[in-house]
Amino acid sequence: MTPIRRIVLVGFMGSGKSSVGRELARRLGWAWRDTDEEVERLEGMPVAEIFARRGEAHFREVEERVTAEMLEMEDVVVGTGGGWGAVPGRLTSLGDDTATVWLRVTPEGALERVRGEAGKRPLLDRPDALEAARALLAERESAYRLAGIAVDTEGGDAARVAEHVLTTLAGPPWNLNAEKV
Ligand code: S3P
């Protein structure tokens, strides 16, 4: 079995990728990388502004490049933007040393979590946000589902979700260094 050298978190906006990812990285002593943060750093502006000024297509191009670079790293937890893992073929093209984790959230739970975090999620910044979240999640679910493991995040705090991820990845068919778990 190939040892796992990186964990990639995918899932909808507000599924807790950043908080769970930070906790996983802390527990493993690995690096933490957030693709949205890196895109914002490179572009010099928040995600919402990139969408407004340069367009979503441009954001997606930079996101793809940034994520691909992060996936070259070892001993890293990568938190992807909600759109990245929704592109068909992405999750199935990763090697055996990469564990993909889908953090599941309901549209209601997602909106609850992103409330008050303006600037990062232009796709939900609209009066009918719940309808939009439902439609987008329904559209993306079949792609997220291809992740190696799926974890429900509703009602669980980041530490409990991280614990569950680590315990799962420590057992077969995964091969995360159990000493660290
Ligand atoms: C997006 C999710 C956001 C951010 C951008 C687009 C999406 O990241 O990349 O607003 O298409 O789902 P988070 O999933 O970290 O909120």
The Å distance, Cα 82 to ligand 1 centre, comes to: 4
Average pLDDT, the chain: 94
The Å distance, Cα 120 to ligand 1 centre, comes to: 7
pLDDT at 68 over 60: yes
The Å distance, Cα 157 to ligand 1 centre, comes to: 20
pLDDT of residue 181: 56
Order of strands, edge to edge, in the sheet holding 76-79? 31-34, 76-79, 6-10, 98-104, 149-152
pLDDT of residue 109: 95
pLDDT of residue 100: 98
What does the pLDDT average to over 12-21? 96
pTM of the model: 0.95
Place of tokens 């409990």: 160
Instruction: Give the residue with greater pLDDT, 1 vs 57.
Output: 57
Interatomic CA distance for residues 58 and 50, integer angstroms:
8
Residues with a CB atom less than 6 Å from ligand 1:
13, 17, 36, 47, 81-83, 120-123
pLDDT of residue 81: 98
Banded model confidence at residue 111, pLDDT cuts 50, 70, 90: very high
Lowest mean pLDDT among 37-41, 60-64, 120-124: 120-124
pLDDT of residue 146: 97
